[in-house]
């Protein structure tokens, strides 16, 4: 992997200061943000990921952030009963419910969680996936998720660079008032939106990239991590995609994670993350013969490590790991 990276040099500007392991990180955006969120969670970072569910376009990302800031309830007129479930145009379908009240309860709780976490967060990572925005024809209201509604209900528009930049700029300014210590990392998802068309996907990504770079140049607390460029320009090989030739596979996300860790995590944080990742990996290990002495020793060793980690990292909850590795 490293030989591939070095074969085509890429400049990655590290933020100052870099991320510390005690920092709190919130991730919002496309499905690629969930890949990064899982990596961070496995390394026992304090992470909150996509309180609205997956979001692809900048207008929906900005709208969700404003809801966290104001701690507002889901907007009543934006609920829709479709395919025997209650859905909301601002939320992913994982919040849908058989009753409107159930769906609203889930959504309100998630907004409240987002509000509390964002108020104390040190970093916000925003991953934009597409510059295409769907609008309900009735009222021209932007939607985050179409919930498989009939296509004739919507108008589809490729947002312009000024429209994207202005929406994000206004949101950044509101965030500065809400949480002055917050630093923002922008990424562009390397997932190809082929349903839009190859040419259209590239136009969409280009607009997102240009808008984000305008903001990074304008705000000193905003940074850019080139996940998109690492996949498209450095790896440049379909071996790094799943069978759909659209989503990055494990090998690709591993390269991206390594580059992120190298440039965005402090040296101490990198070591801590590696140690705690090993703990998560050990917990996920599938044991064939749990009755053996070797497995008993394995558990004892990791339980001792957890007791040590509890002293080193008092901000981390290791209760689940302790229960798993507790010697019999």
pLDDT digits (tens, 9 = 90+) for 270-284: 999 999 999 999 998
> Does residue 168 surpass a pLDDT of 90?
yes
Sequence-ordered list of residues with C-beta below 8 angstroms from that of 266, at least 6 positions apart, any chain: 17, 18, 19, 20
Higher pLDDT, 207 or 283: 207
- 3-state secondary structure at position 167: helix
> Does residue 187 surpass a pLDDT of 90?
yes
- 3-state secondary structure at position 67: helix
Q: Is the peptide bond before 17 cis (omega within 30 degrees of 0)?
A: yes
Closest CA to 22 of 120, 125, 126: 120
pLDDT value for 10 = 87
pLDDT value for 239 = 84
Judging by DSSP bridges, how do beta strands 132-136 and 141-143 pair with one another? antiparallel
Q: Is the dihedral of CA 232, 20, 50, 77 positive or negative?
A: negative
- Cα–Cα distance measured from residue 87 to residue 75, given in angstroms and rounded to the nearest whole number: 12
Closest CA to 131 of 196, 213, 198: 196
pLDDT value for 5 = 53
> Does residue 147 surpass a pLDDT of 50?
yes
Higher pLDDT, 31 or 315: 315
What pLDDT digit, counting tens, does each position of 101-128 carry? Answer: 999 999 999 999 999 999 999 999 999 9
> Does residue 248 surpass a pLDDT of 70?
yes
| Band of pLDDT at residue 288, cut at 50, 70 and 90 | confident
DSSP string, 88-156: ETTS-GGG-BSSHHHHHHHHHHHHHHHHHHHHH-SEEEEEE--SEEEEETTTTEEES--TT--GGGEEE
Sequence-ordered list of residues with C-beta below 8 angstroms from that of 311, at least 6 positions apart, any chain: none
- Cα–Cα distance measured from residue 243 to residue 241, given in angstroms and rounded to the nearest whole number: 7
> Residue 264: how many CB atoms within 10 A of its CB?
20
Q: Which residues of 37-58 are buried (b: 16+ CB within 10 A; e: fewer)?
A: bbbbbbbbbbbbbbbbbbbbbb
What are phi and psi for residue 7, nearest 5 degrees?
Answer: -70, -25
> Does residue 259 surpass a pLDDT of 80?
yes
- Cα–Cα distance measured from residue 12 to residue 133, given in angstroms and rounded to the nearest whole number: 29
- Cα–Cα distance measured from residue 127 to residue 213, given in angstroms and rounded to the nearest whole number: 13
| Band of pLDDT at residue 1, cut at 50, 70 and 90 | very low
pLDDT value for 2 = 52
């Amino acid at each position: 992997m490293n030989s591939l990276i070095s074969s085509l040099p890429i400049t990655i500007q590290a933020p100052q200061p870099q991320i510390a392991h005690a920092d709190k990180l919130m991730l919002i955006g496309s499905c690629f943000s969930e890949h990064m969120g899982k990596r961070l969670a496995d390394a026992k970072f304090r992470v909150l990921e996509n309180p609205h569910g997956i979001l692809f376009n900048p207008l929906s990302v900005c709208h969700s952030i404003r809801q966290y800031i104001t701690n507002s309830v889901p907007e009543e007129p934006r609920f829709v009963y479709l395919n025997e479930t209650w859905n909301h145009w601002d939320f992913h379908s994982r919040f849908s419910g058989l009753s409107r009240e159930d769906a609203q309860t889930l959504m309100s709780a998630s907004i409240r969680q987002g509000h509390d976490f964002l108020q104390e967060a040190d970093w916000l990572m925003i991953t934009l996936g597409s510059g295409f925005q769907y609008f309900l024809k009735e009222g021209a209201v932007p939607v985050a998720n179409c919930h498989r509604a009939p296509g004739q209900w919507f108008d589809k528009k490729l947002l312009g660079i000024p429209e994207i930049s202005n929406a994000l700029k206004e949101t950044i300014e509101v965030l500065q008032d809400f949480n002055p210590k917050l630093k923002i990392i922008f990424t562009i998802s390397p997932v190809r939106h082929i349903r839009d068309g190859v040419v259209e996907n590239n136009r969409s990504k280009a607009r997102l990239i240009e808008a984000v770079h305008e903001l990074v140049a304008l705000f000193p607390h905003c940074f850019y991590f080139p996940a998109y460029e690492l996949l498209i320009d450095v790896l440049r090989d379909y071996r790094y995609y799943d069978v759909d030739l659209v989503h990055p596979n494990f090998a690709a996300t591993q390269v991206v994670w390594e580059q992120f860790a190298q440039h965005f995590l402090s040296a101490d944080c990198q070591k801590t993350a590696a140690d705690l990742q090993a703990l998560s990996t050990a917990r996920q290990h599938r044991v064939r013969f749990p009755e053996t002495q070797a497995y008993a020793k394995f558990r004892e060793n990791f339980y001792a490590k957890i007791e040590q980690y509890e002293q080193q990292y008092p901000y981390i909850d290791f209760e689940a790991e302790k229960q798993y590795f507790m010697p019999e």
